[in-house]
Structure 1
């Protein structure tokens, strides 16, 4: 059953965003929208099916741990839900790492202050690179996490390039 989703101005509904996300969204002019969802369908494919959203207009934010020597650098990657990030090719080389992998769930949630399945590029720790796939950037409106499993954000794709530390690249094979 497809349910209707109601997008509202995110700044008018701070309860729909995790604490670190609220401050990051506040700097934008109101173009960020938010919607409450069933947290049981926070995963992208289930969300799109339940709410009749286009999978190609949704993006996943994955947290990477890039290692070189004894150091670990964390980065967020925004990839369209219909694509896979080239973690051990493009991303590993771009981050100058010997090895890159998805950060463990407890590390990703602990460092971001966000819920697993709701991690978003808004409000990430200072200094983290935010690598945005060109496909996501070029999407007029893209659905991303809100930091919570119980809501989503809808933003203009090009707006993601305005986040601190953001860089637009081709991140897929």
Structure 2
């Protein structure tokens, strides 16, 4: 079912997509519950809920999940291709109940081919993601876990409020027990 109305376009106004752009008609509503893994080959605009991006690291006989990013309402994420030759190593999972608007990557590619404004949005989106990734890399390289937690407290307090501690610890690169100790020292 195509969704012509309902999407909160103002929530995504930072993407500079005109409210009358026919691209909005191509999105469908995707409701999710906790622990839902998102499908490949799609772009998602999160309107409600929280989604995490994670990798699985094999250690001895155990798999460890490493949180890499989180997506809150108003944010966009892309789940890339998963092929038999190259299976995906990254997963996107909902942390709680919510919904997003989805569109297939093929549809997005078609829009880029015919609409120069879509290419502008793509460049804007990619430059924001690249800057965020570079900043995160520098934070991880230059700071202790305690410094990272203090940074999150000061600059991304919504992470502290909404992300379960086990995922937050993984995002910082420590165990939940170590995060608990840091929180006790700071408070």
TM-score (structure 2 length as normaliser): 0.26
Whose radius of gyration is greater, 1 or 2? 2
TM-score (structure 1 length as normaliser): 0.28
